[in-house]
Chains A and B, each alone.
Chain A
Amino acid sequence: MSTVTPLVDVRQLVKVYRPSPLWMRFLLRSAIDRPVEALRGVSFQVGAGDICAVVGPNGAGKSTLFRVLTGLTTPTEGSATVLGLDVTHQSQAVRRIVGFVPADDRSLYLRHTASENLIFHGRLQGMALPDARSKAQEMLELVGLGHAAGRAGFALSSGMRARLQLARALLHGPRVLILDEPTSAIDPVGAHQLLSLIERLTHEMKLAVLLSSHRLEEIEALRDHVLLLDRGELVYQGDIESLRHTWDAPRLRIRFAEPAAAVAASAKLRAVAGIETVDQIAGEVTVATTMRAGAVLGVLNGQLAKIESVEETRISLRELLIQVAGDERRPSQGSGES
């Protein structure tokens, strides 16, 4: 990542959740009955102007990572700093320079207007009332909600609420923005608009952005940096192109005129060294290989006349991430640049 001066610097971060001690279970019932390693030696950096997409299945450690960075929980081992401030011991100072957009839009006062929501948070930041008012209007304009300043939260669409939460997170001029699944409740068009806005603001305001999403097409569209977490471990960090370059074996989809030809072809292909996988369904054979298309077709020399079409495809990002996360041979701490 382009981290000349990293705004977020996470080193060997470990977080272990432990069940509450027996003596205090009358007060606090643990949701777990054995220690759970939520983060296992995670290290990465995010610089100004970078958007870092944090992806991974449920339970991968994304929310724990965000909670550590916002000071809501403390690391068990390792360190995390924001602009050089330690998130454990300088939590209040860190919270002055971090903006957070939670996944849940219930965090808004839905009975209050968009403007009142922002004024309230401006006041919590220590702004005088007139300053909070003008800043609130400025932020509403920035996220395209200037016309909705007087509308109550409950009267806003999901997309508008997400924008309002973004405005709230930007109100105090943070250097780091953390967004926990900001598009989860929004339709695809609204999600695209929100992400475009985030991209624009990131570059204009030189923010360091950490964003989690389950919508992989969005991650791909950002074309920036990806942190892939799986069971608390950082299994990849880098850009998506590097990820593809390292892990993506090109796919060759060959359609035959009849299934019997496909069966025969797949038997031949499976015997060839250099071909990773061969999948055959009816008259279609899909081959994963680093061999050139011509070399693959050369193997099928006697059956070329039965081929209807040949298509080179790329693995979807979803499959790619599953492949990386599930591969036992992957190097720890990712394979991309840092």
Chain B
Amino acid sequence: MRSLGHAVTVARAFTRMGYLLEFAYPLAFVFTQMQALVPVFIYFFVAKLVNSSNSNVGGDYFTFVIIGVLSIRVLAVVQDLSSELDSAIQQGRLETLLVEPLPWRALPFALIPWSLIVRLVTVALLVFITVPMGAHYNWSGMPEALLITLLGTVSTLVIGVLATSVKVLSKRNDPILAVYGLVVQVLSGAFFPLSVLPAPLRLISRMLPQTYVIDANRHLLLLHPAGLSGATPMQAIVVLVAFAVVGYAVSLWLLGRTLDYAREIGVLGGY
């Protein structure tokens, strides 16, 4: 219980530093958030070309794709974990962090709360911005969608913990996360229904936690979800919980082994 309290204090410390750092460069912060508008505008125009009457997009392609885009935007917090570790390694701060009496395996979780908060706030703003652009949401489904998105974030962090294990040794895992990010973009169904994918690719799609979050959020937030394929919210919750339980058991064990090995060969905290 005491170590859980310590872990929460550590996470709050990193959140505070993230906040202070973000607002130390206000213009950069504003422009970074404005970049989030780009896909919204792109799909606003693409939606004009797509036949929205197709039932497997819920009768409204713009809302369908925006839910997908915004869902993966939150879940991409795993990429921020990689960036945070990178900057700590490159700026020479990692060694100082590691000599603090922290449980090292808690570091991946401590590094992301601020990024998650920023992403959630950005997504909330985008939801409101897209309403006058023609998106139609089932507002009553928002609380459940938020919960499933948070559960999906917890599940997706399994990938972040695995990536941290690689980074502890290789110092850079951007290629791994970049490939993972591309797979998610193409196969999670954010931009089109999974039914358009060939069967073998659909199999890979079903291994990604993002797919379940997007499916569930569309069921919850689209006004006419009847024709949608994919996981229902309850199915998504079951899969995401199972993914998290199995994933953390494996990834935390692997991270522990990797940290031990990095200590043994003397690369922990190095560049």
Q: Which A residues fall within an 8 A CB radius of B?
A: 15, 17-18, 20, 24, 27-28, 38, 64, 67, 70-74, 92-93, 95-96, 98, 100, 102, 104, 106-109, 111-112, 116, 120-121, 123-128, 168, 172
Q: Which of A17, A102, A109, A126 contacts B9 (CB 8 A)?
A: A126
Taking a contact as CB atoms under 8 Å apart, the answer to whether A123 and B170 are in contact is no
Taking a contact as CB atoms under 8 Å apart, the answer to whether A95 and B99 are in contact is yes
Taking a contact as CB atoms under 8 Å apart, the answer to whether A20 and B265 are in contact is yes
Taking a contact as CB atoms under 8 Å apart, the answer to whether A27 and B101 are in contact is no
CA distance A108 to B95 in the complex (A): 11
**Interface 1/0 per residue, B87-110 and A, CB below 8 Å:** 000011101111111110000000
Chain B residues near A15: list those with CB within 8 A: 266
Nearest-neighbor residue (CB-CB) of A64 within chain B: B266
Is B17 an interface residue, CB under 8 A from the partner?
Answer: yes
Taking a contact as CB atoms under 8 Å apart, the answer to whether A107 and B92 are in contact is yes
Beyond contacts A67-B269, A107-B95, A107-B96: 9 other A-B pairs, Cβ-Cβ < 8 A, are A24-B169, A28-B170, A73-B268, A92-B101, A111-B21, A120-B16, A123-B9, A124-B10, A172-B101
Chain B residues near A20: list those with CB within 8 A: 265
**Interface 1/0 per residue, B193-222 and A, CB below 8 Å:** 000000000000000000000000000000
Closest chain-B Cβ to A333's Cβ sits at a distance in Å of: 24
- Considering only residues 155-180 of chain B, those with a C-beta below 8 Å from chain A are 166, 169-170
Is B73 an interface residue, CB under 8 A from the partner?
Answer: no
CA distance A111 to B266 in the complex (A): 30
Q: Which 4 A-B pairs have the closest CB atoms?
A: A123-B13, A106-B92, A107-B96, A95-B101
Is B24 an interface residue, CB under 8 A from the partner?
Answer: yes
Nearest-neighbor residue (CB-CB) of A88 within chain B: B263
Chain B residues near A172: list those with CB within 8 A: 101
Chain A residues near B136: list those with CB within 8 A: none
Is B46 an interface residue, CB under 8 A from the partner?
Answer: no
Q: Which of B24, B99, B102, B263 contacts A100 (CB 8 A)?
A: B99
Taking a contact as CB atoms under 8 Å apart, the answer to whether B98 and A72 are in contact is yes
Chain A residues near B5: list those with CB within 8 A: 126
CA distance A173 to B209 in the complex (A): 44
Taking a contact as CB atoms under 8 Å apart, the answer to whether A106 and B93 are in contact is yes
Chain B residues near A73: list those with CB within 8 A: 263-264, 266, 268
Tell me whether chain B's interface is mostly helix, strand or loop, or mixed.
helix
Chain B residues near A18: list those with CB within 8 A: 265
Closest chain-A Cβ to B2's Cβ sits at a distance in Å of: 9
Is B224 an interface residue, CB under 8 A from the partner?
Answer: no
CB within 8 Å for A102 and B96 given contacts A27-B170, A71-B263, A126-B6: yes
CB within 8 Å for A123 and B10 given contacts A100-B99, A106-B92: yes
Chain A residues near B1: list those with CB within 8 A: none
For this complex, 16 residue pairs linking A to B, each with C-beta atoms less than 8 Å apart, are: A17-B266, A28-B169, A28-B267, A70-B99, A72-B98, A74-B263, A95-B101, A98-B99, A102-B95, A107-B92, A109-B21, A124-B9, A126-B6, A126-B10, A126-B101, A172-B101
- Considering only residues 112-138 of chain B, those with a C-beta below 8 Å from chain A are none
Q: Tally the A-B contacts, defined by beta carbons under 8 Å.
A: 95
Q: Which of A24, A104, A107, A112 contacts B17 (CB 8 A)?
A: A112
Taking a contact as CB atoms under 8 Å apart, the answer to whether B264 and A74 are in contact is yes
Nearest-neighbor residue (CB-CB) of A24 within chain B: B169
Closest chain-B Cβ to A129's Cβ sits at a distance in Å of: 8
Chain A residues near B98: list those with CB within 8 A: 71-72
Chain B residues near A106: list those with CB within 8 A: 91-93
Closest chain-B Cβ to A161's Cβ sits at a distance in Å of: 13
Nearest-neighbor residue (CB-CB) of A132 within chain B: B13
Taking a contact as CB atoms under 8 Å apart, the answer to whether B12 and A123 are in contact is yes
Taking a contact as CB atoms under 8 Å apart, the answer to whether B103 and A72 are in contact is no
Chain A residues near B12: list those with CB within 8 A: 123
Nearest-neighbor residue (CB-CB) of A69 within chain B: B99
**Interface 1/0 per residue, B64-106 and A, CB below 8 Å:** 0000000000000000000000000001110111111111000
Closest chain-B Cβ to A225's Cβ sits at a distance in Å of: 23
CA distance A74 to B13 in the complex (A): 28
CA distance A70 to B96 in the complex (A): 10
CA distance A120 to B265 in the complex (A): 30
Chain A residues near B99: list those with CB within 8 A: 70-72, 95, 98, 100
CA distance A279 to B177 in the complex (A): 65
Taking a contact as CB atoms under 8 Å apart, the answer to whether B92 and A104 are in contact is yes
Chain A residues near B266: list those with CB within 8 A: 15, 17, 38, 64, 67, 72-73
Chain B residues near A74: list those with CB within 8 A: 263-264
Nearest-neighbor residue (CB-CB) of A75 within chain B: B264
Nearest-neighbor residue (CB-CB) of A110 within chain B: B91
CB within 8 Å for A92 and B103 given contacts A100-B96, A102-B95, A102-B96: yes
CA distance A52 to B100 in the complex (A): 22
Nearest-neighbor residue (CB-CB) of B15 within chain A: A123
Chain A residues near B268: list those with CB within 8 A: 72-73
Chain B residues near A109: list those with CB within 8 A: 17, 21, 93
CB within 8 Å for A120 and B101 given contacts A74-B264, A107-B96, A112-B21: no
Chain A residues near B42: list those with CB within 8 A: none
Is B20 an interface residue, CB under 8 A from the partner?
Answer: yes
CA distance A95 to B268 in the complex (A): 15
Taking a contact as CB atoms under 8 Å apart, the answer to whether B20 and A116 are in contact is yes
CA distance A172 to B6 in the complex (A): 14
CA distance A15 to B265 in the complex (A): 9
